[in-house]
Amino acid sequence: MTRPTTIDEVRQAYLDFFQAKDHLVVPSASLIPAGDPTLLFTSAGMVQFKSYFSGEERPPRPRLASSQKCFRTSDIDEVGDPKHLTFFEMLGNFSIGDYFKREAIAWAWEFCTQVLQLPEERLWITVFLDDDEAEAIWREIGVPPERILRYGEEHNYWGPAGEEGPCGPCSEIHYDYGEEYGPDATPAEGGERFVEIWNLVFTQFHQRRDGSRTPLPTPNIDTGMGLERTAAIMQGVRSVYQTDAFDYLVERGAELAKMRYGEDEEMDYALRVLAEHARAVTFLIADGVAPSNEGRGYVLRRILRRAVRYARKAGVPAVEGGFLSGMAEAVIQRMGPVYPELERERDFIYSVIRGEEQRFNRTIDAGTAFLEGMLEGRVTAREQLLGLLKAVSSRPEISRDDNSAEEVAEVAIWAAKLRNKLREGTPLGSLMTGKGAEVDAFNRGLLAFGLEKTMQFVASMVQETDLTDEQILDKAPKLSSAIEQLLPATKRIFGNEAFLLYDTYGFPPDITRDIAREHGLQVDMEGFEREMEAQRERGRASAKFGLGDAASPEAYQTLATGESRFTGYDSLREETVVIGLLAGGAPVERASKGQQVEVVLRETPFYAEAGGQVGDTGQLRGPLGVVR
């Protein structure tokens, strides 16, 4: 028998193997789980069979096998390394009250050693702490005891997928790439040289939302084998990106980016992330997920935007028609024959990706400039403050700690001077951001300093700007404390700033955090969350104009190309529907009272600003209210 090697061969060999053992081969279900509100995405092969395990429905046959499209964000930060993915294919064989541990283990072993022809000494087994039965079976089929390890719930107990459902102890098969990939160790240490390829779950319990478990009507089997990881082993490569699941796509990315893979580690990493995310979004959109600010749509948006950001970070030049849609094209071409929904939804996939990529590129241009200005300002401010601190510390007469009213007034002069500098836009001004925020952050520093009185004076002193720095330094008391209080602010992005970036520029907070981290700054995520909560409150309190759950393909096409049908030559009124809503250039699900938004209508009698002519004004009326 020849060993299966390519992705398609491994998948087929697996399905054939289990078909020959009486399994019914079932097509992959959608990435959007049907009727399971507790689960955002299909994360394992068993998801479409949950109701069979629970006994609510009868399976067409007690033995099933599939290659399931799966999506998980749990490993997103690891994407780009040799083995972690968000979207992947999971091979699985399932027994609904039919065979149990003995057959599941024996067949897994047979498939690995006979069909894949993996050398036995490369395979390690893990079992659940008290699972003597599983260990005995592994030993019987010839696995030496020293390559069988036992673990607790964290590693060897699986499920449920979502908040409730089937679960049970499990047993895993790990592959050892060999000493050249890491020091002598076991899979326990999670070293680079090992990769988990197959998980056999002995599904015996139903776990409820409160965490309690009850036995299922019958014991079942749920197994999951990582197709891409297995193919990497079969192809004799260390990384999934070197397999035929990805090599063409990494190549395509490099081609679009006009660079070569393998020359620069940072660039290569970005190309791998891009390939992974492009493949994931292509499949998500094909299954009907559209970008939004909530739920699945938000996850899609995050991945898409993360990819755009990586492309920009790696210096990928602008690509006609969009970089990611160029990648999606390659995915559809390669995987369309196995997953026909890709071909079927081709146009929808392109238009969603293009629209989102264009929009995000536009907003990110503005947002990045804003954020980087802010970051640079922090650096400049820090340098200046440190300089001032040095100057001040060398002068004992102005570092005294007794703040008389007069001295406070003198600090106020200094404050006023700085404040005016802010207004003039001198570099010190970039200590803070935006108009109000500049002054706010500055004041925050001084208030923290404890000189409330200072601030009372600031307002009246604002006019007094003709003192030299030297004169001000001469007069100010305890300047050093004030400066020290201000310093931490130069290492932070405040919650309200992160929120502004999110709300106005559509920057997901993790992108803000990534960029800030690159500059050695921290984002106040708690402050950000508080701002989000405050916005949600405002939203609840005022009238809402909602869009449906998912935008239609038609909506995205229109959003992507900006083509509403203009009817204003014939009529000044139109009865139509809202197909898109944008705030700060990014699509949103809803908007609330007081917010400025762009509304995209399917037909519109409003002439848009163009050719030097101003746009029409008027009202939108709907059952929920009026928009001016």
Q: In 380-389, which positions are buried (b, 16+ CB within 10 angstroms) versus exposed (e)?
A: bbbebbeebb
Query: Nearest residue by C-beta to ligand SER?
Result: 224
**The total number of residues written for the chain in this structure:** 628
Q: Phi then psi for 100, rounded to 5 degrees?
A: -135, -145
Give me the least distance between CB of 23 and ligand SER, in Å please: 14
Binding range to ligand SER, per CB under 6 A, among 25-33, 217-225, 506-514, 579-587: 217-225
Do 47 and 161 contact (CB within 8 A), yes or no?
yes
Q: Angle of helix 265-286 relative to helix 346-393, nearest 10 degrees?
A: 140
Binding of ligand SER by 168 (CB under 6 A)? no
Residue 448, Cα to own-chain centre: how many angstroms? 36
Among 62, 168, 224, 291, binds ligand SER (CB under 6 A): 224
DSSP letters of 123-159?
A: EEEEEETT-HHHHHHHHHTT--GGGEEEE-HHHHEE-
Would you give the binding string for ligand SER spanning residues 176-215, x where CB under 6 A is met? -----------------------x-x--------------
- Minimum Å distance from CB 224 to ligand SER? 2
Would you call 181 exposed, middle or buried from its count of C-beta atoms within 10 A (0-12, 13-18, 19+)? middle
Of 24 and 439, nearer to ligand SER (C-beta) is 24
CB of 70 to ligand SER, least distance (A): 8
Quick one: which segment of 219-227, 235-243, 288-296, 312-320 binds ligand SER (CB under 6 A)? 219-227
Closest CA to 154 of 174, 176, 126, 182: 126
Give the residue with the Cβ less far from ligand SER, 103 or 244: 103
Maximum CA pair distance of the chain? 94
Assess 223 for contact with ligand SER (CB under 6 A).
yes
Return the structure tokens found at 15. Answer: 């399905």
Instruction: Confirm or reject binding of residue 92 to ligand SER (CB under 6 A).
Output: yes
With CB under 6 A as the rule, give the number of residues binding ligand SER: 10
Contact 454, 415 (CB under 8 A): yes
Residues 492-531 that bind ligand SER (CB under 6 A): none
230 binds ligand SER (CB under 6 A): no
**Window 44-73: residues binding ligand SER (CB under 6 A):** 44-46
Helix, strand and coil in the chain, % to nearest 5: 50, 15, 35
Contact criterion met (CB below 8 Å) for 212 and 237: no
Measured from the CB atom, is 165 or 297 closer to ligand SER? 165
Min separation Cβ 502 and ligand SER, Å: 33
Nearer to ligand SER, 223 or 292 (CB): 223
Minimum CB separation of residue 53 from ligand SER in Å reads 11
Give the one residue of 89, 135, 176, 222 binding ligand SER; rule: CB under 6 A: 222
Rule CB under 6 A: which of 274-333 touch ligand SER?
A: none
Stretch that binds ligand SER, among 222-230, 407-415, 512-520, 535-543 (CB under 6 A): 222-230
Residue 55 burial class via C-beta count within 10 angstroms: exposed 0-12, middle 13-18, buried 19 and up: middle
Q: How far is the CB of 198 from ligand SER (least distance, A)?
A: 8
How near is the Cβ of 197 to ligand SER at its closest, in Å?
A: 11
Stretch 394-453 residues interacting with ligand SER (CB under 6 A): none
Calpha distance 619→611 (Å, rounded)? 23
User: Does 99 help bind ligand SER (rule: CB under 6 A)?
Assistant: no
Among 158, 310, 323, 606, binds ligand SER (CB under 6 A): 158
- Closer Cβ to ligand SER, 197 or 441, answer by number: 197
Q: What DSSP string describes 477-505?
A: SSHHHHHHHHGGGGGEE-HHHHHHHHHHH
Position of tokens 């916005």? 535
For residues 157 and 607, which CB has a smaller minimum distance to ligand SER in the complex?
A: 157
CB half-sphere exposure, 8, CA atoms < 13 A: 7
Give the Cα separation of 140 and 552 in Å (integer).
Answer: 56
CB 111 within 8 A of CB 17: yes
In the bound state with ligand SER, the residue whose beta carbon lies nearer, of 200 and 335, is 200
Q: Give the Cα separation of 74 and 69 in Å (integer).
A: 16
Site for ligand SER, rule CB under 6 A:
44-46, 92, 158, 199, 201, 222-224
